[in-house]
């Protein structure tokens, strides 16, 4: 059984205010992203990738930008991001946890 317990998973530090934990199979990846240091005055720079992405907001609130659209997301909300579509977030609370799923695997995260 492939199990990832948040209490046991060693986080990868992306920056002093961002960490991620990963669980994956051969074809699907789930990433728990922990954000701190909010609320942010400005959104993050946009980024793209060739992967399909679905994001679940587990904790905190963010403004989520996909292409030219934006929406405020709170715990329990979800958003889908098409491949190669610019997207970004703006942290609206002191902290947030986003759960992202990707297909295919993000080899750059492994």
The parent domain of residue 29 ranges over 12-43+50-109
**29-42 per-position pLDDT tens digit:** 999 999 999 999 99
In a domain, 4, yes or no: no
This prediction has a pTM of 0.93
In a domain, 3, yes or no: no
Domain count across the chain: 1
- For residues 17 and 63, what is the distance between their CA atoms, to the nearest angstrom? 17
Cβ atoms of residues 65 and 89 within 8 Å: yes
Mean pLDDT for the chain overall: 95
């Amino acid at each position: 059984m492939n199990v990832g317990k948040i209490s046991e998973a060693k986080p990868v530090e992306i920056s002093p205010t961002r960490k991620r934990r990963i669980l994956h199979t051969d074809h699907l990846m789930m990433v728990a992203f922990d954000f701190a240091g909010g609320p942010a005055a400005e959104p993050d720079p946009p980024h793209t990738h060739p992967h399909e992405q679905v994001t679940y907001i587990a904790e905190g609130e963010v403004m989520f930008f996909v292409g030219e659209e934006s929406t405020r997301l709170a715990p329990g909300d979800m958003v889908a991001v098409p491949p190669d579509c610019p997207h970004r977030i703006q942290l609206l609370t002191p902290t947030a946890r986003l759960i992202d799923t990707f297909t295919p695997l993000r080899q750059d995260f492994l």
